[in-house]
């Protein structure tokens, strides 16, 4: 029995191990969501007592799913294997689609979504990544708004500006600081930064034109007088 014990932690690449586990979990969650949506589609909202609970469960499952997708995306970006693909996007269509998809979700949380877009606006960006950012911003807005959220796109100072605004009491101080830290490039592991903001900051910075790169900002005020999440892309 002179053989030494194997180390408790075999020398596997931990990041890869976590990523492949996240991948596996994502597949299970997808099946779960598919099942839940299947049930939701077959029952009647007014006569089925647990309808609201089921809808809430679906919402939570989707949140976990999108978190896992963001984790995996961050992993791929870190490994330089994410197929970053900026393409010209028609902002009108982009906003319409997001409104159609998220509108239902926001309504179920008692929030009305309005949207606006400067006409004939096209911009180059990675549609999937930016959709992820907007999803995060909606999740935040749901927490802080009273009952309205507004999504808009416009050209400002030669950049694309996407705004998600609400009519709540505004973002708390720590959120505003956290966001500023994110853009300054504070170490994720050291701080208390949430996944959503970190993801958004990284993705915004990936969008570069010459010496300019994208940024995210949180402010209070805006069109609805509450919190505003602002994404600017060069």
Partner 1 sequence: MSFQQADNAPEADFSTRSFLVVDDFQGMRTILRDILRNCGANAKNIATAANGSEAVAQLAATQFDVVLCDFNLGKGKNGQQVLEEAKVRQLVGPACAWIMVTAEKTSDAVSGAAEYQPDAYLLKPITEATLRLRLAKIWAKKMAFAEIDRAVRQGNIAAALACCDERLRTDKANANDLLRTKCDLLLASGDLARARQAFETILAHRDVPWAKAGLARVLMQGGDYAGARTVLEETLAVNAAYLEAHDLMAKTLQAMGDLEAASAAIERAVRISPNSATRQKNLGEVALRLGKTDAAEKAFRRSVTLGEHSILKTADAYLGLAKACTANDRPEEALRALDQVDKTFDDETVRMQSLAVEGMVHHKAGNAGKAKEIAKKLAQTAAASPGETQLTLDTARLLLATGARDEAVALLQGEVRNAPENAALLGEVKDIFSAAAMADEGAALVETSRKDAMEQMNRGVLLAREGRHDEAIAAMRAAREAMPRNVRVLFNLTHVIVAKLQQDGGADPVLIEEARGSLAAAHALAPGEARYATLKASLDTLAGVR
Residues near partner 1 (CB under 8 A) are 26-27, 30, 33-34, 38, 69, 72-73, 76, 80-88, 90, 93, 96-97, 100-101, 120, 122, 124, 128, 208-210
Say which residues have a Cβ less than 8 Å from residue 228's Cβ, sequence separation at least 6. Answer: 163, 164, 165, 166, 218, 219, 220, 221, 222
Closest CB to partner 1 among residues 26, 146? 26
Closest CB to partner 1 among residues 7, 38? 38
Closest CB to partner 1 among residues 93, 147? 93
* Tokens 């935040």 belong to residue: 140
Task: Provide the minimum distance between the beta carbon of 225 and partner 1 in the complex, in angstroms, as a whole number.
Answer: 30
At residue 10, the 3 state secondary structure works out as: coil
Task: Provide the minimum distance between the beta carbon of 131 and partner 1 in the complex, in angstroms, as a whole number.
Answer: 9
Task: Provide the minimum distance between the beta carbon of 8 and partner 1 in the complex, in angstroms, as a whole number.
Answer: 30
Closest CB to partner 1 among residues 100, 143? 100
The whole-angstrom separation of Cα 214 and Cα 145 is 25
Query: Smallest Cα–Cα separation from 155: which of 183, 125, 133, 122?
Result: 122
Structure tokens at 65: 């799913």
According to DSSP, the residues that pair with 156 across neighbouring strands are 159
Q: Indicate the DSSP class of residue 219.
A: E
Closest CB to partner 1 among residues 133, 228? 133
Task: Provide the minimum distance between the beta carbon of 34 and partner 1 in the complex, in angstroms, as a whole number.
Answer: 7
Closest CB to partner 1 among residues 36, 228? 36
Half-sphere exposure of residue 77: CA atoms within 13 angstroms, side-chain side: 20
- State the distance between the two ends of the chain, measured CA to CA, in whole angstroms: 65
The whole-angstrom separation of Cα 222 and Cα 163 is 9
Task: Provide the minimum distance between the beta carbon of 93 and partner 1 in the complex, in angstroms, as a whole number.
Answer: 6
Task: Provide the minimum distance between the beta carbon of 143 and partner 1 in the complex, in angstroms, as a whole number.
Answer: 24
């Amino acid at each position: 029995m002179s053989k030494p014990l194997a180390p408790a932690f075999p020398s596997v690449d931990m990041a890869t191990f976590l990523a492949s586990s996240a991948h596996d979990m994502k597949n299970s969650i997808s099946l779960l969501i598919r099942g839940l949506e299947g049930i939701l589609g077959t029952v009647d909202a007014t006569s089925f007592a647990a309808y609201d609970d089921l809808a809430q469960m679906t919402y939570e499952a989707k949140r976990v799913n999108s978190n896992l997708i963001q984790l995996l995306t961050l992993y791929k970006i870190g490994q330089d294997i994410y197929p970053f693909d900026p393409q010209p996007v028609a902002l009108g269509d982009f906003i319409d689609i997001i409104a159609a998809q998220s509108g239902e979700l926001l309504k179920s949380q008692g929030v009305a979504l309005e949207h606006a877009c400067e006409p004939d606006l096209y911009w180059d960006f990675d549609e999937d990544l930016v959709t992820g950012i907007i999803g995060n911003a909606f999740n935040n807005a749901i927490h802080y708004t009273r009952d309205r959220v507004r999504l808009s796109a416009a050209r400002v100072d030669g950049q694309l500006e996407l705004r998600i605004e609400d009519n709540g009491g505004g973002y708390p101080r720590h959120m505003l600081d956290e966001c500023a830290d994110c853009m300054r490039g504070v170490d994720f592991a050291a701080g208390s930064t949430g996944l959503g903001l970190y993801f958004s900051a990284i993705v915004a910075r990936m969008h570069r034109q010459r010496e300019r790169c994208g940024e995210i900002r949180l402010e209070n005020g805006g069109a609805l007088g509450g919190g505003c999440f602002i994404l600017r892309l060069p």
